[in-house]
Amino acid sequence: MEIEENFLYTKEHEWVSIEDNIATMGITDYAQEALGDVTYVELPEEGAEVEQFEEFVSVESVKAASDIFAPMAGKVLEVNRKLEDDPAWINKDCYGKGWIARIEVRDMDESTNLMSAEEYRNYLESLEH
Amino acid sequence: MTVETSLYNTPLADEHVALGAKMVSFGGWNMPLQYESIATEWEYNRKAVSLFDCSHMGEFMIKGDAKACGLDSIVMQAISDMPLNSCRYGAMLNDLGGVIDDLIVYRKGLRDWMIVVNAANIEKNARHFRAHLNSSAQFEDASFKTAKLDVQGPQSRDALKFLAPGIEKLTYYTFDQFQINGISCLISRTGYTGELGYEIYCPWEKAKEIWKTILNNATVKPTGLGVRDVLRVEMCYSLYGHELEETISPLEAGLDKFIDEKKDFIGCQSVSAHPPGKVIGYFISASRRSPRAGHKIFDTSGNEIGGVTSGTFSFGLQLGIGIGFMIPDANKVGMGVLFGDEKNKTAATVAKRPFYKKGSLKS
């Protein structure tokens, strides 16, 4: 299972990469593997305000529909429109071209509610037992 | 991953694990969901040729005169007029006219039949046959000694013609005995994908050898139950537990054309006495958002008119597709409907079957 070292993670298997006050987010390798072929992504409205851990994206795979939660509170600055026609980018490159949204972070302290790569790795191991 | 022991395993369970399949429980069986991505496996099937392990399905061997032994009155389709070496799809019903299972009857001889049924229903079906066949019939449940491998796809004939010489002569819904590596197999030109294809019935203990022999041809790829469900929904084929149930009549399920109206069979009076309520219908989502079993169906004003029994994303249409039961007035090709729940509804249009029209089934 691939984990990006410098990213932060949620228990719901979202990743976030924070630069300045912009958080780019997506779902982890574990999540895309569990979902299987992603066939549809309902992206949030650009400009929408979201709270930390609020559901704000819906992802469908051949198997099922799943809710995706905002890893940080703030304003949705940009969404990955490429996913509208080719949601399989989430399977092919979940930490890169399969990013979902960029959020202008409202409160940087909220990052303490997230896991480091090391903590997320341990968390995944604990799920297997 | 280890081979699950609380479920039934087909003779190929460890082959699937060795090929890296994601395994799931299906109808009491430990089965491969997928080996690669479902999109890739869809391409293998629709563009080339793919191999499914369907050994979980049930096979009953019956010997007896169709009418005299009771078989003819158990199944709703006509069978007495079946040519030798032909197959016929149909179902058997309970006294109330509900579907116990859908099935295919194979006529192996004048008084020699094979009945192929769904895996989850093997025991219940065997009880039904034993209860309703009379003493002139010989009945054997051969499900656990008969493996079934499905070779499906536009190139399936090419993939099998050297392994099973003479297979080219099989027309749709006929079968014969062939030798693969000296192993005697019954092969029918049947399937559940909408593509040209064959179902190979062989002895349980020989399944691994036949599986490996077929996969020696690198153009043939193993495919799992995940894509099988997409393929069958694209063709609007019903699946027991979804579109077929003991509480659903064959008229509601759209199986009218498989009923022999001239004969008396179990459940026939109930079927004709009760006009159908909600009837099966097929609809295409206006977007990639896919309907799911359990979703409700609404008319465009938001009135509930039915429910979804199967739904998936169609790789052929690049849109969501669904099967459900709707009140007849709202269930007409071209009509707009909505699917989803009270909060979230997606537009769709009632469509003609099948959704996928480019299949090589009869080529």
**Using one digit for the tens of pLDDT, what is the confidence trace for A81-128?**
999 999 999 999 999 999 999 999 999 999 999 999 999 999 999 998
User: B310 lies in which domain range?
Assistant: 277-350
- Mean pLDDT, chain B, rounded, equals 96
Please give the CATH number for the structural domain made up of A8-107.
2.40.50.100
B34/A36 touch (CB, cutoff 8 Å), yes or no: yes
- pLDDT of res. A64: 86
Is B192 a member of any domain?
Answer: yes
Q: Which of B287, B289, B313 sits opposite A62 (nearest CB)?
A: B313
Residues B75 and B15 in one domain: no
The answer on B83 and B180 residing in a single domain is: no
Is residue B24 in a domain?
yes
CATH number at residue B294: 2.40.30.110
Output the CA torsion B188→B191→B194→B198 (10° steps). Answer: -40
Within this chain, do residues B32 and B148 fall inside the same structural domain, yes or no? yes
- Indicate the number of domains in chain B: 3
Instruction: Tell me the average pLDDT across B28-38.
Output: 96
Q: Which of B75, B109, B141 is the last residue of a domain?
A: B141
Q: Rounded to whole angstroms, how far apart are CA atoms B209 and B357?
A: 35
Instruction: Please answer whether residues B70 and B27 qualify as being in contact, where contact means their C-beta atoms are separated by less than 8 angstroms.
Output: no
Write B18-23 long-range contacts (CB < 8 A, 24+).
B19/B222, B21/B222, B21/B224, B22/B224
Residue B192 and residue B324 share a domain: no
Instruction: Tell me whether residue B2 is in a domain.
Output: no
Q: What is the pLDDT of residues B293-349, one digit of tens each?
A: 999 999 999 999 999 999 999 999 999 999 999 999 989 999 999 999 999 999 999
B307: closest CA among B333, B337, B334?
Answer: B337
Assigned domain for B242 exists: no
At residue B5, does pLDDT exceed 70?
no
Question: B304 and B196, same structural domain?
Answer: no
Task: Find how far residue A57's CA is from the centre of its chain.
Answer: 9
Provide the shortest C-alpha distance from residue A113 to chain B (in Å).
31
**Are residues B154 and B42 part of one domain?**
yes
Suggest the residue from A60, A62, A85 to mutate for an interface test with chain B (most B CBs closer than 10 A).
A62
The predicted-structure confidence for A25-78, as pLDDT tens digits, reads as follows: 999 999 999 999 999 999 999 999 999 999 999 999 998 889 999 999 999 999
CA B60, CA A42: separation in Å to the nearest integer?
A: 47
Q: Assess whether B50 and B151 both reside in one domain.
A: yes
- At A63 the pLDDT is 85
pLDDT tens readout for residues B151-208? 999 999 999 999 999 999 999 999 999 999 999 999 999 999 999 999 999 999 999 9
> Residue B4: is its pLDDT beyond 70?
no
Q: Does residue A10 surpass a pLDDT of 90?
A: yes
In a domain, B195, yes or no: yes
Same domain, B209 and B285: no
Place B2 in a pLDDT band, splitting at 50, 70 and 90: low
CA-based nearest residue to B186, from B197, B196, B199, B195: B199
Q: Do both B119 and B149 map to the same domain?
A: no
Complex ipTM value: 0.88
Among B119, B141, B163, give the residue marking a domain's end: B141
* Total Cβ atoms within 10 A of residue B93: 25
Confidence bin at B93 (pLDDT 50/70/90): very high
Instruction: Note the pLDDT of residue B3.
Output: 54
Question: Hey, is the C-beta of B38 within 8 angstroms of any chain A C-beta?
Answer: yes
Please give the pLDDT value at position B50: 98
Q: How many CB pairs under 8 A join A and B?
A: 36
Q: Any residues with CB less than 8 A from the CB of B185 and at least 6 apart, and which?
A: B164, B177, B178, B179, B200, B201, B202, B210
HEC per residue, chain B: CCCCCCCEECCCHHHHHHCCCEEEEECCEEEEEECCCHHHHHHHHHHCEEEEECCCCEEEEEECCHHHHCHHHHECCCCCCCCCCEEEEEEEECCCCCEEEEEEEEEEECCEEEEEECHHHHHHHHHHHHHHCCCCCEEEECCCCEEEEEEECCCHHHHHCCCCCCHHHCCCCEEEEEEECCEEEEEECCCCCCCCEEEEEEEHHHHHHHHHHHHCCCCEEECCHHHHHHHHHHCCCCCECCCECCCCCCCCCCCHHHCCCCCCCCCHHHHHHCCCCCEEEEEEECCCCCCCCCCEEEECCCCEEEEEEEEEEECCCCEEEEEEEECHHHCCCCCEEEEECCCCEEEEEECCCCCCCCCCCCC
Distance (Å) from the alpha carbon of A19 to chain B's nearest alpha carbon: 33
B266 assigned to some structural domain? no
pLDDT digits (tens, 9 = 90+) for B69-89: 999 999 999 999 999 999 999
Q: Are residues B38 and B186 in the same domain?
A: yes
**Contact call for A40 and B289, based on CB within 8 A:** yes
Residues B28 and B45 in one domain: yes
State whether residue B288 sits within 8 Å of chain A by CB. yes
Last residue of a domain, one of B141, B161, B184: B141
pLDDT value at residue B233:
98
Residue B38: its chain A contacts at CB < 8 A?
Answer: 36-37, 62
CB B246 within 8 A of CB B252: no
Residues 224-253 of B with CB under 8 A from A: 226, 230
Please answer whether residues B173 and B107 qualify as being in contact, where contact means their C-beta atoms are separated by less than 8 angstroms.
no
Helices (H), chain A: 29-35, 82-85, 89-92, 117-128
- With an 8 Å Cβ cutoff, is A36 touching chain B? yes
Residue B193 sits in a domain of what CATH number?
3.30.1360.120
Q: Is B270 within a domain?
A: no
Are residue B49 and residue B173 in the same domain, yes or no? Answer: yes
Q: Which chain A residues are within 8 Å of B288, Cβ to Cβ? A: 39-40, 60, 87
For A117, the 3-state DSSP assignment is helix
